[in-house]
Every structure is written in structure tokens, then in C-alpha cells.
Chains A and B, each alone.
Chain A
Amino acid sequence: MQIAIAIANPDAAGRNYLTWAPVRATARVVDPVGADPVAVTVSNDDAQAGGQLEFAAERDEPRTGSLDLTLPADGTPVEFWVAGVVGRASSADGDAVLRVANPGEAVALTTKAVMVRVRKDANELGAAERDRFTTALAKLNDQGAGLFQNFRDMHRQPLALNQAHGAPGFLSWHRAYLLDLERELQRIDPSVTLPYWRFDRPAPRLFAADFLGRTGPFGDVIFSATNLLRQWNTDGAPGISRRPQFNVQNSGAFVSDDGTTLAMGGLPPDAIFDTGTDSGGFDEMEGDPHGFAHTSFAGWIRSTGTAPRDPLFFLLHCNVDRLWALWQWFNNRFDGTLPRAYFFRGSAGSAVATDIGHNLLDTMWPWNNVTGFPRPGNAPRTPFPAVPTATAPGPAPTVGDMIDYQGLLNAQSDMNFAYDDVPYGVAPSNPPG
């Protein structure tokens, strides 16, 4: 008897990439041997090794490590939901294997290999994951001739920088920016995700010759023989200018720790995302830790106009985004229509509004292809790239579109990315609603 498994949103090659968000799947009998329904159990093929999956009959039901299904003999598909298990992400493509067997049987009727693909702590990354990332990034850069140039150009001129900094859209814009880059990396190697740099902790394995480079005696950034980032090139200049001003072997950058950052905003009565006052909303994190992480170095990463020339920029911002995601989980801040999730809820020009590009309903440059003052004169990347593994965000994402990134309130908002230490859903004391 053959069982067919289908999981929603496969890529063009039929591969599935899951996060912590539940994805719809179906199982069906392909060649019935009789008229009786077939009882099967869906589980992990190897509960010890590789990425791990969990299952539920309904999208919002609690998930378990195995799920019993009864498949009609006429081949009608039976729906179930599958997601990755937090703490058990994949380290290689296809290392999470879904298994279908008759209940209690050791022999599988069928298996399906997928990847639980989430963003991880750069300092904890395995060697193969690290090498896949540096190779994909170097290929995207292609010594200055590749698509990376678009990302460099998006973060250069004053009008472009205005779209993304010093106002509440900072977090949404950079979330979109990172996701856009990550999707380009995944076109090169679908098993790659952006790692994050925990800048409040020592990260000696990140600042090493086989990753983002170690600093030599004269401030030169040294790469190992196999590290293709040696070929990095931006603005017509080879290499990277970066000199840490803290000891990367045993210290974090000059930043507040995660606890301090997560304490910004969030809890009543100060649970305002951005009031524009001095009282300390979560958007203060744009200064510390974000800005202070940048200024913990000499070199390109220290200034807004040159920072994206250093690959570290993207790992730094990935951690900024991770902190936002963790803050959202901790405080249940996924509904952009609520002021505690986002204060400026209209669009530019509406009654309570701030600069264009920083209101909830404003589309974001450059993906919106809107040019001319106060937007920049050109749009290096438009539209936002569509991928088969997710329907969100759309081609011209708004500030608000980036908030419900795991599709918690609307399944269609799932952007198919997640962080290894930020679960799906909200903290138990903050149920949705």
C-alpha cells in the first residue's frame, strides 16, 4: 500500500522548508487494497537525530510528536498540520524526516524529508552551516558584480536612510530588508538562513578566520583559505574594513543585554511601542543596543552610509530583529492595529502620522517602486521577491505587513522565517486575543 504525503508551499523542486509555524499537510492512500479506512501514525523517522517535527490535526491545536490519522480507502486526502520543534532545528537540508506507518509498526509506509530551517546564533553554527552561509553570501556579492549591490545601494544615500532609521518603521524596514537578502541567499542555496550575532555575548567563533574574519595586528580582516568572503568587494574596493574596539574573544559589544532590551516598553502601563517621548518604548533599542553595536567597531560598520559594506551588518541586524521577535512573543505584540504593537496606525498624512514610510499603512521603499522626494530617486529592488515557500509579504509590503511574521493572527502572513530561540505563538501569560 502506498501513502502519499503533501506539505503546502513546496519550492520549485518539491522540497519543503518549515519553521515553527504550522503548515498544512495531507496524507492519502494512493493504491487501496480494500474498502476499509487505513489507520496510520505520522511521526519523526528518527527521534534522536536531525530536525524534529511535531503534528496536530488542527492548525491551532497543541502539537505532539506523533499523530494518528484514519485515511479513507478512496484516496480522499486527510489534512493535518506540521511544524518544527523549537530547539530541534535542522542543520542540513532534508534531515527532518516525516514517517508514516501503521500504528505500532516499525516499517514505514512512506517517508518525506524536509528541513526545519530557522535562523540561528552565529556563534553556535555548525561548520557546514557556516560554510554554506559564507559561500552563498560571497556568491551573492560576486566580487561586487552580484545582486548584493542592490542591498548595498538601499542603505547608502540620505533619503534612503530616512526610510529606515530614526523613526518607528526602523524595525519593520530592516525585517523586510533582511528577509529580502535571505531569500536571495536561498536562491543560491535553499538550506541557508541568516545567522544572528548575539552582540551582548562573546562570539569568538563568529570573529574567526573561517567565518566573518579575525582581526590581524594592523586591523586587517583575515580569512581562512577556504573562506570565500576573502573575495568580498563593495563599492569597487576589495575586502572589509573592520576593527573591533572590544575583545571579541571574551566580551560582547558595548551594548545592553537581552534582558534590558526586552524590558523596554512592553509591560503596562508603559506598553507603548513608540510614543515619541523620552519614557522608553521598545523603539529605544535603535540606540542601544543597535547603534551601540555598530559603534563598538572602527571601520565601515560604524557609519550608516557604509555599514552594509561589512557582512557583519546583516548578522547584527538579524539579532536586532530577533530581539523584536522575542519582545513580540513575550508581550503579545503581533496585532499592528493595536497601539501597543505599533503607534502610528494610519498612513503618511493621516491625523496621527509621522514621516512617510514609518506609518503602519505606508508601503516601504524600495519594494513599492515609489520614487521622488521624500522617497529616494530610484528603487534598487522592486517588487519584494515572491517565493513558493510563503505568500507574505506581498510585492509592496507595508510597515504593518512585517509585524505578524509567523502568521499568528493570519496564516497568510507567515513569511517562512523564525529564530531558534523564539517560539511560535505568544508567552503563556499573554494569550492572543
Chain B
Amino acid sequence: MSEQAAERLEAELRRQTDAARAAQSRYLSELAATAAANRPDPGLETFRSQPEQEPAMAVLTDTALPAEQRVEVLRRLGASLSRRAEYIEALLAIVRDRGDDAAVRSVALQTLGGAAFQVVRFRPHQQAYDDVLHDLVDDPVPELRETAVGVLAQQHDPVVQATLLGALRGDGPLPVERERAILLLAEDDHLDNLPWLQELYRNDSASVRAEAVRFMGSYPDAEPTLEGILRNKDEAPSVRQQSGAALRFLTPERFEAVAKEISTDPSDDPDVRTACLSALQHLGDTDRLYADADFVNRVREVRGDESAPQLAQVARDLLAQRPEP
């Protein structure tokens, strides 16, 4: 980089950092003023003399202030607030308080989630954080319920798994919509989720069916179902492609056989054919693939198919990478 270009870059970064500092300084002054205005004692000067977090926490914890103002504190200063133990306790208290504003609680939960990434520093608060997540499972705010159940289910938390299973069987209210509950249980493939996933697959939404099919890929017993879906020309192409990926994970050989048929079947959907051919080209035993002369000949017929240009391109690539005999 030329000296002039380096100088321009430095000047630009200087401008950005100066602007960030100025904005931060203005914001802290506003916070101090807001905190002082809402709490006459100890007064503005006292707040100004204290660390930036003090007026920030004063504003954040003042439930009389507009929610947007409190959310902004978390968005702008949440990370530095979550460096101090007492402030983490305050954030946990906000999330726990069902009488507080839902948006503030939600962003406070997000802030705690971000702080939890700092594993060593967050360790003293981990149990309290987990307890709050469990408290949220029956919270009246759907967004908070869904976040908490999602985080816990991904950790294979047995308590939340029992809650979801019980609710799916009619024992108690579902903390999240039924489809979501099944998918969250499916995060743990040690559970017998296949019947639930088969139920989910009967959903009208292709998006939901795609998710059901995706998780079926964790269950060897689902192989016939997945092959059937991959072959089903009446199914949405996106669901069929997902089914192909799941089938390939369970039995690569079976996928290869079916994918060879589909990818060279001119009556089938171009996207499904392309996805099958692309997987065959890049993954698995390509020596065996190229040794299948009948298949290679059929791919040759595909390479000039102007009605499916993407498929034709994949076919040309596949043939171009074929090793010399």
C-alpha cells in the first residue's frame, strides 16, 4: 500500500474512532442527565463523577423510563455492563421480573447470552443464568419462552426436554408452538423423535416438512421414508433435496443409486437433479462413480440440456474432472 493510501486509511479510521468516542461521550452525558433528572438525589454532579456504568444502570433499572431508552443502554453499553458481577445480577433480575417490559427483558437476555460467551469470566454466574432460563420456560412472553427453550434444548437439558415431551403428549401447555417443540426435541438424537418427526412431515408447509426431513437424517429407521420423499415428484423440490442430504448421511450407497437415477431423468425437477448430480460429483467415491460407464454416458446426454443450464454445467464439470482412462 502506498504511503498516501495508508495515510488515507489511517485518517478514515481516526475519523471513525473519534466519532465513536464523541458519540459515546455524548451518550454518557445524556445518561448522566437522565439518571440525575429521574433521581434528584444524589444529583447530576455525583453521577458525572462516577463510572459510566452507574448512570447506565440507573437508567436501565428505572422502569418509569420509556423501554426504548432502557433498551438503548443495553445495545450501547451492555457488554461493558456485563463485565461486573453486580451488574450481571441486575441483568438477571430484569430478565426474571415478569412485570418489567418485554423488550427490555428480551435484550437483557440477549446481553447475558453474549456475556456467557466469555466462559471463564461468566462462570460464577452460569448457574444463575441457567436458572433464569428455566424460569422463562413458562414466561408469559412468547419470545422469551422461545429463546430460553431453544438455548436449553440445544444443550439437551433434561428438564426442558421433559416439559416439551409432556406437553406434546397433552400434559401441560406447550411453551412454544408444536412444530417448534418437535424440532427442539430433535436437537437430541438420543431421544425417540422419529414418530414426532413423521407427524411433522404431514404439515402443509414445505418449510416445516423440510425441517422434519432434515432431522429424520439422524434416525436409520427413517431411510425408507427419506428415499420415498426423494423420489416423490409431487413433493416440493426443496423438501426432496433436503431428503437427499439426509438419506446420503444415513446410507451413502443408497443415495448414490437413487441420485444417479434422478440426476439423469429428464422428466424430473431440474433443481433436484442438479442437487443430486452436484453431491455425486463432489462427495463420496468418485473413482467408483466414473467407473460406472452407463451413468457417465447418461451424464453426457445431460451436459447439453439447454432447458436446465445449471444442471448442464454441473454435468460438464463432472465430465471435465473425469480422470483419463
Give the interface of A toward B (CB within 8 A): 20, 62, 85-87, 135, 138-139, 142-144, 158, 161-162, 164-167, 170, 216-220, 222-223, 225-226, 228, 230-231, 233, 235-239, 241, 254, 256-260, 262-263, 266-267, 278, 280, 284, 286-288, 290-292, 294-296, 298-300, 302-306, 326, 330, 355, 423-425, 427-429
In the complex, what residues of B have CB within 8 A of residue A225's CB?
A: 241, 270-272, 274-275, 278, 310
Excluding A302-B154, A303-B155, A429-B10, 5 further A-B contacts by CB distance (< 8 Å) are: A219-B211, A225-B241, A256-B79, A287-B80, A295-B110
Question: How many Å lie between the Cα of A242 and that of B218 in the bound state?
Answer: 18
CB pair A237–B120 under 8 Å, yes or no, is no
Question: How many Å lie between the Cα of A143 and that of B205 in the bound state?
Answer: 26
Give the interface of B toward A (CB within 8 A): 1, 3, 5-7, 9-10, 13, 15-17, 19-21, 23-24, 51, 53, 75-76, 78-80, 82-84, 110-111, 113-123, 146-147, 150-151, 154-155, 179, 183, 186-187, 189, 205, 207-208, 210-211, 214-215, 217-218, 238, 241-242, 245-246, 248-249, 252, 270-272, 274-275, 278-279, 282-283, 310, 314
CB pair B7–A428 under 8 Å, yes or no, is yes
CB pair B207–A220 under 8 Å, yes or no, is yes
Among A85, A164, A216, A217, the most chain B Cβ lie within 10 Å of the Cβ of A216
CB pair A257–B20 under 8 Å, yes or no, is yes
Say whether, besides A20-B1, A231-B245, A304 and B119 are in contact (CB < 8 Å).
yes
Question: How many Å lie between the Cα of A222 and that of B271 in the bound state?
Answer: 13
CB pair A166–B17 under 8 Å, yes or no, is no
CB pair B278–A302 under 8 Å, yes or no, is no
CB pair A427–B9 under 8 Å, yes or no, is yes
Closest to B7 in A: A428
In the complex, what residues of B have CB within 8 A of residue A86's CB?
A: 1, 5
Question: How many Å lie between the Cα of A216 and that of B213 in the bound state?
Answer: 14
In the complex, what residues of A have CB within 8 A of residue B218's CB?
A: 236-238
Number of cross-chain contacts by CB at 8 Å: 232
Name the contact of B150 in the complex, choosing from A162, A226, A254, A298 (C-beta under 8 A): A298
CB pair B242–A230 under 8 Å, yes or no, is yes
Name the contact of B310 in the complex, choosing from A167, A226, A429 (C-beta under 8 A): A226
CB pair B119–A165 under 8 Å, yes or no, is yes
CB pair B211–A278 under 8 Å, yes or no, is no
CB pair A291–B79 under 8 Å, yes or no, is yes
CB pair B82–A287 under 8 Å, yes or no, is yes
CB pair A303–B151 under 8 Å, yes or no, is yes
Name the contact of B16 in the complex, choosing from A236, A259, A286 (C-beta under 8 A): A259
In the complex, what residues of B have CB within 8 A of residue A278's CB?
A: 51, 53, 80, 83-84
Closest to B122 in A: A166
Please give the distance in Å from B248's CB to the nearest CB on chain A: 6
Please give the distance in Å from A263's CB to the nearest CB on chain B: 4
CB pair B154–A306 under 8 Å, yes or no, is yes
